[in-house]
Structure 1
Amino acid sequence: MNKNELISSVADHSGLSKADAGKAVEAVFDTVTSELSKGGEVRLVGFGTFSTAQRKASTGRNPRTGEPMTIKASTQPKFKAGKGLKDAVNK
């Protein structure tokens, strides 16, 4: 499912117009992104938790040349599925 299909599905399930459903989906994405960029987390009980994790700087190799290179430290988004989502997927 891509973003447009998600918007269509939300519109069908909620009775909203596609334009309003699109705004709602965008608002959810923007809110999650904003909270994660501040270092917070978004916990949706039964669905899952969006959070961030710190990755340390490391040394890797350039796959083309084999030369060692430094990979910068970074913050990575994470998602941990909740029990309700796990149970629904494993029916």
Structure 2
Amino acid sequence: MEVKVSMPESFESELSQQIYAAAESAFKDMKRKADYPEYMKVSQACAYIGVSRTTLMTKLIPAGLKMITIDGSLMRFSKKSVDIFLEQHNN
């Protein structure tokens, strides 16, 4: 069954631009996430989130960002945990 919808050209053009922008944003986000390993070093986590090391350590970790610590000094951040944390704090 085929359904045809008529709409003004200006609306069709705007709709096409919105769809293109949404798709482009989704692809950029997927590429950005693929550029980082599953378990990130502190510097990689900072770049992934877009914050300084100070902000990561003084604001995000105390706010609940999960950090993996090995032997008391080796720190890693799971990409999945970072994504969950960011989603939970998305106002």
TM-score normalised by L of structure 2: 0.31
Identify, as 1 or 2, the structure richer in helix: 2
Identify, as 1 or 2, the structure richer in strand: 1
Point out the structure with max Rg over C-alpha: 2
